[in-house]
Amino acid sequence: MTMQNVVGGVPTSGPGVPEPPQVMVAKQWSIAVNSPKYGTFRVYFFRLFDGRTMCYNPAKRQWKIWRPYRNLVIGKRITTKQAKRAVRKLQDIRKVADAIFPVKHASKVKVKR
């Protein structure tokens, strides 16, 4: 019996463990997991050619698909594109930091000259 599902626009099928089509998979691996509720089982991971990662949990029969976080790396010779990306990332970090740790500004201070 072959199951056919679509997860995030990627079709999955297979007689045992459902898998995405091999033409879409760049790399695949699995890890063993020991759970007190489900026992020991393997979680299957698939790195797709478009950069996303899929994983299948056979204990829950559940798929997850996500795009991994890209780290910010700045070398010696920075391009305009890299600079824009760095500014955008730093602005995002500042927004999150301001939301978590709001800054209480003191009243205006007069400077003696």
3-state helix/strand/coil string of the chain: CCEEEEECCEEEEECCCCECCHHHEEEEEEEEEEECCCEEEEEEEEEECCCCEEEEECCCCEEEEECCCCCCCCCCCCCHHHHHHHHHHHHHHHHHHHHHCCCCCCCCCCCCC
Question: Whole-model pTM?
Answer: 0.64
Q: Per-residue confidence at 75, pLDDT binned at 50, 70, 90?
A: confident
pLDDT over 60 at 15, yes or no:
yes
Task: Compute the mean pLDDT over every residue in the chain, rounded to the nearest whole number.
Answer: 86
Domain boundaries, the chain: 3-66, 70-99
Amino acid at 90: L
Residue 107 confidence (pLDDT)? 63
List 97's β-bridge partners, or say none.
none
**Residue-level pLDDT at 71:** 82
Q: Is 31 a residue whose pLDDT tops 80?
A: yes
In this predicted structure, the answer to whether residue 4 has a pLDDT above a threshold of 70 is no
